[in-house]
């Protein structure tokens, strides 16, 4: 265990943190999703795969609140959040990363992790500032320690002083993940995280994701076309095809499924 105490790793129930049931989305005559369900538990990495146009991005949009479904519901910690905004969901521990990185380019990596942590000081004027100064200094020290510890745990400490805007895309994506962890994300939706990464970066990405799940208790759902990466990292895989759930199971079961081979993996699997 690291010294970082965010996330639900300790003491949370092992029920689903995120559930989607009966999700339907139409674009005119196109049924992008038709009765799709999905469950995500704390600490697991679940893969979402399928051919182009299967509905993966649309499902991510529904889960993160960017798109309201025509049918079905999304539950976060058992609460119906189908009508909640993306911002509300983010405040309640849900993060989504995009292929384009979303870091503060003018800040160092360490500062990106620092500003991500909630600031509880301020308010009450000068007198309050003076009285509360020692508390605030202690809090500030804790924030810095948490940022440093998260970078170390993710193997990113050598990047702490680099400006985020100068990082190659693969490293920037990993820093985004570390930032999600330091701010206490509980559900992370990853959109093609391995795309454009070198083999070394993919290895490091796996370590960062495993840190989030194993040490922080995050649930991770990832859309990815790199099948080897998905098979290696995920404990469970959901396969979409033409807007419906074609299969769900362990990587071995999904790989052996003839319907999945026909629709997506091909005979070589
Ligand atoms: N804004 C839109 N307007 C109309 N049709 C859309 C829209 N977004 C998606 N679709 C259609 O919905 C279906 C599902 O698309 P979606 O992008 O979710 O698939 P995907 O599995 O993410 O595909 P890819 O792997 O290519 O990203 C497709 O038939 C697509 O053409």
- Say if ligand 1 is within 6 A of residue 55 CB: yes
Instruction: Note the ipTM here.
Output: 0.97
Cα(46) to centroid(ligand 1), Å? 21
pLDDT at 105 over 80: yes
CATH class of 18-265: alpha beta
Q: Whose CA is nearest to atom 29 of ligand 1?
A: 53
Q: pLDDT tens digit string along 210-263?
A: 989 998 899 999 999 999 999 999 999 999 999 999 999 999 999 999 999 998
pLDDT at 118 over 80: no
Q: Whose CA is nearest to atom 6 of ligand 1?
A: 27
- Say if ligand 1 is within 6 A of residue 50 CB: yes
Atom of ligand 1 nearest to the CA of 25: 12
Cα(52) to centroid(ligand 1), Å? 8
pLDDT of residue 170: 84
**Closest-CA residue to 112 (of 169, 190, 172, 153):** 172
Q: Quote the CA–CA distance of 132 and 122 in Å, as a whole number.
A: 9
pLDDT of residue 2: 37
Looking at mean pLDDT, say which of 7-11, 12-16, 127-131, 218-222 comes out highest.
218-222
Q: Quote the CA–CA distance of 231 and 70 in Å, as a whole number.
A: 32
- Say if ligand 1 is within 6 A of residue 52 CB: yes
pLDDT of residue 4: 40
Domain residue extents for the chain: 18-265
pLDDT of residue 245: 96
Based on the number of CB atoms within 10 Å of its own CB, is 161 exposed (0-12), middle (13-18) or buried (19 or more)? exposed
Q: What is the mean pLDDT of the chain?
A: 87
Q: pLDDT tens digit string along 176-195?
A: 888 888 878 899 999 998 98
pLDDT of residue 13: 52
């Amino acid at each position: 265990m690291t010294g970082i105490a965010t996330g639900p790793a300790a003491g949370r129930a092992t029920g689903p943190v995120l559930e989607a049931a009966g999700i339907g989305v139409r674009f005119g005559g196109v049924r992008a999703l038709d009765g799709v369900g999905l469950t995500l538990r704390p600490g697991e990495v679940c893969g979402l795969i399928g051919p182009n146009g299967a509905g993966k991005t649309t499902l991510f949009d529904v889960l993160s609140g960017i798109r309201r479904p025509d049918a079905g519901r999304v539950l976060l910690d058992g609460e119906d959040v189908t009508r909640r905004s993306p911002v509300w969901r983010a405040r309640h521990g849900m993060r989504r990363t995009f292929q384009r990185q979303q870091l503060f380019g003018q800040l160092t990596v360490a500062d990106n992790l620092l500003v991500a942590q909630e600031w509880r000081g301020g308010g009450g004027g000068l007198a309050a500032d003076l009285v509360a100064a020692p508390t605030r200094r202690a809090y500030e020290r804790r924030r810095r320690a948490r940022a440093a510890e998260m970078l170390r745990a993710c193997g990113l400490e050598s990047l702490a002083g680099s400006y985020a805007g100068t990082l190659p895309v693969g490293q920037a994506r990993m820093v985004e993940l570390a930032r999600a962890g330091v701010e206490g994300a509980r559900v992370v939706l990853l959109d093609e995280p391995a795309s454009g990464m070198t083999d070394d970066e993919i290895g490091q990405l796996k370590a960062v994701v495993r840190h989030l799940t194993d040490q922080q208790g995050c649930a991770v759902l990832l859309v990815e076309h790199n099948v080897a990466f998905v098979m290696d990292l995920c404990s469970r895989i959901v396969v979409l095809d033409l807007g419906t759930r074609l299969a769900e199971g362990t990587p071995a079961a999904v790989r052996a499924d003839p319907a999945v081979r026909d629709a997506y993996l091909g005979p070589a699997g």
